[in-house]
């Protein structure tokens, strides 16, 4: 278990009033909410079968009257996991192609704007490597910035989901940030190289 938190009757009442208002409690004139224990599992245990087994273990305890978790949400996620992976693959391919196109098009415009300077450098004996390097660096920077923006969006999106569905932290948004940054840089290099090959070397 990743974490265990004991919620007293008073804390349960405060949470209920924050989410639903205090009108119902005012009518009852007493606190009907029981104390509870909130458990957060590690990601590898957040599957329907494993959660069910853990629930059955707790239910056998005579001091526990009920085990509640978002069962419907877990079932929906598991039943649509293959579709989710397929659509993510499609989105990934589209993002990769779009990233290469955007970087390539940007570098093409930069090359066109600096065409005269490039020709002057060639006349002065500048090597291909010397001429290409600034554009490759531009591609790397664009890829790096794009990957950092992607990471920022993913962090914000994950925080929103965790706030909305605090009882279930999903592992589908876990991202290896170093992989994302490395991929962004690689896509930037690829896009810039395509433009260099098409518009600078020819």
- Model confidence pLDDT, tens digit, residues 83-116: 777 777 888 888 888 889 999 999 999 988 988 8
How many Cα atoms occupy the beta-carbon half-sphere of 84 within 13 Å?
A: 9
- The last residue of one of the domains, among 59, 78, 97, is 78
Question: Counting beta carbons within 10 angstroms of the beta carbon of residue 141, is it exposed (0 to 12), middle (13 to 18) or buried (19 or more)?
Answer: middle
What integer pLDDT is reported at residue 170 of this predicted model? Answer: 54
Q: Residue 24: is its pLDDT beyond 90?
A: no
The percentage of residues in the chain with a pLDDT greater than 70, rounded to a whole number, is: 88
Q: Residue 169: is its pLDDT beyond 70?
A: no
Q: Residue 141: is its pLDDT beyond 90?
A: yes
Joined together, the tokens standing for residue 150 give 């992607």
107 and 37 in a common domain: no
Contact at 8 Å (CB) between 183 and 92? no
How many Cα atoms occupy the beta-carbon half-sphere of 180 within 13 Å?
A: 18
64 and 105 in a common domain: no
The better pLDDT of the pair 117, 40 is held by 117
Report the first-to-last Cα separation within the chain, whole angstroms.
61
Q: How confident is the model at residue 167 (pLDDT cuts 50, 70, 90)?
A: low
92 and 50 in a common domain: no
157 and 88 in a common domain: yes
- The last residue of one of the domains, among 43, 78, 113, is 78
Q: What domain range is 14 assigned to? A: 3-78
> What is the count of structural domains for the chain?
2
Q: Hey, which of 36-40, 55-59, 78-82, 193-197 has the most confident mean pLDDT?
A: 193-197
With a threshold of 0.75, does the pTM exceed it? no
67 and 131 in a common domain: no
Of 13-17, 28-32, 37-41, the poorest mean pLDDT is in: 28-32
Count of residues for the chain? 202
100 and 46 in a common domain: no
Phi-psi region of 6 (alpha: psi -120 to 50; beta: other; left: phi over 0): beta
């Amino acid at each position: 278990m990743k974490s265990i938190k004991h919620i007293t009757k008073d804390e349960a009442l405060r949470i209920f009033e924050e989410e639903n208002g205090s009108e119902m409690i005012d009518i009852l004139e007493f606190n009907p909410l029981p104390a509870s224990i909130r458990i957060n599992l590690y990601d590898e245990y957040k599957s329907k079968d494993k959660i069910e087994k853990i629930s059955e273990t707790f239910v056998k305890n005579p001091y526990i009257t009920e085990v509640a978790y978002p069962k419907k949400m877990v079932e929906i996620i598991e039943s649509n996991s293959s579709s989710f992976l397929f659509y993510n693959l499609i989105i990934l391919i589209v993002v990769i192609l779009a990233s290469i196109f955007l970087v390539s098009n940007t570098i093409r415009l930069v090359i066109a704007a600096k065409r005269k300077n490039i020709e002057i450098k060639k006349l002065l004996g500048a090597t291909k490597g010397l001429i290409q390097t600034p554009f490759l660096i531009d591609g790397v920077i664009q890829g790096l910035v794009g990957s950092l923006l992607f990471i920022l969006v993913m962090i914000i999106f994950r925080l929103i989901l965790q706030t909305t569905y605090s009882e279930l932290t999903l592992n589908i948004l876990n991202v290896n940030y170093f992989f994302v940054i490395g991929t962004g840089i690689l896509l930037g290099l690829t896009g810039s190289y395509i433009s260099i090959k098409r518009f600078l070397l020819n």
